[in-house]
Every structure is written in C-alpha cells, then in structure tokens.
Amino acid sequence: MRVKIHREGTHVLTVLIAGLLLVNIPLWIWLPHYLWIAAAVSAVSAVFFLLVLNFYRSPRRHFPGNPVNAVVSAADGKVVALEETYEGEYLKCRCVQLSVFMSPLNVHANWFPVDGEVVYATHHDGRCRAAYLPKSSTENERSTVVIRTPGGQLVLMRQVAGAMARRIVTYAHPGVEASIEDHMGFIKLGSRIDLYLPLSTEIFVKIGDPTVGGITQVGLLHPEITETK
C-alpha cells in the first residue's frame, strides 16, 4: 500500500516543522559547549514530529474482495459495538449498529463503507465525551451520511468526535457517488465510526476485532430485501 500525507495534515505539519526548527537551530548555535542538550531536544522533537506525521498518514487502499453488496470498514480501529438498535435521525427503523473506535495511533481517514449514492449528509454540534461511550453516538459532535446502494438499501454512517477530537471533516454531500475505495472524511484524534445496517445484513466481525479501513469486509448486504426512504 502506498502511503501519503492526508491533505488535512499538510498545513499542520508545515507549521510544526517551522516551529521545531525555530526551537532547535538556536540551541545548536548558542550552546556549543552543551551539545547534549541540543541533541536531547532534537531527539524529542523528532519523535514528536513522527507521531504527528503518523497520525496524518493517508494510505491509498484497494478493496481486495468483490465490492457487490459488500460492507467494508470505514475506519482503522477496533469493533466496540455490535447490536440491534433503533436509528431515529434518518432511517427511523431497527438496524444493526456496528461501531469502530479509532485510537490516536490509528489512521484517521474515513472511507465510504458501501458503493452507492449519498442521499443525506449533515453535521451536528455536540459534546466531547469519550468516543467509546454509547451516548457519544447521539450526544457528541458528529456528522451523519446516508448512502443508497445500487440494490436500493440505505446505509447510515456516522462520524463521532471523541474526548480529544477537535474537528470532523466530511467530504460527502447529497448526489455524490460513494465508492468503498474513496475517502469520505477525516476525524482528528480519538473518535469512532458508527454504521447502521439493514437487519438482514450478514455480519463478519465481532466485538474486539481489529479493522482496516477500506480493506476489512465487515458485512454483506442481501439485495433481495429492499429498503426505501
């Protein structure tokens, strides 16, 4: 997989490099007899920069399986919720909720979970509870995107900000063609992705399983059961 820097991190990394250079260069110039101090600060700066760089990595991924009716994980992380629940914002019906929690060390780019067309997208302001808590799905800052698949089914994807998250970025809007190989958005720092799937969906993961966004198939839709808005 080819890895590049996500566009959400370009400005941040540029400013960070400039700031670290402003701190480190004077130390090497002004402390010729205490080079160990300059070396220690430079080492800490390098580690910090690499951590931030790691957070903003943006791998280009290609789903290896058959994309027809496939539900693919929208994020890197770990499955933290898998249950039947009622989705009241848009679908207004019982669904399977599948949630993936992203730690600060995970890739934070988000992929579309299914192929189709975006029919709904909106942003909600909210609190900054820990993203692994159940109430974060309805009380935290969040963005909701609904995709209608080629088979006519509706899949709702929700980006949920966590306690450390400061910004949710959503590229999707109604009329956009969704592809499981494309980025849907980006969330900064710890956060989670909730998927609301038809009850007929065959689920391939369980709580605690790791996922790779755009790669791990988490479910399979059954087109013979068609849901319309």
Residue type, 213: G
Instruction: Enter the tokens of residue 65.
Output: 């399986």
Q: Helix and strand tally (H, E) in the chain?
A: 3, 16
Question: Which of 171, 95, 81, 179 is CA-nearest to residue 131?
Answer: 81
CA distance 192 to 136: 9
Q: Residue 228 burial (CB < 10 Å; 0-12/13-18/19+)?
A: exposed
Backbone angles phi, psi at 148, to 5 degrees: -95, 120
Asked if 191 is an active-site residue, the reply is: yes
* Given the residues 73, 99, 136, 191, the one annotated as active site: 191
Strand order in the sheet with 142-148: 177-178, 116-124, 142-148, 154-161, 191-197, 93-102, 77-87, 210-211
Token pair belonging to 92: 């207004």
Bridge-based pairing state of the strands 142-148 and 116-124:
antiparallel
* Active centre residues (catalytic): 191
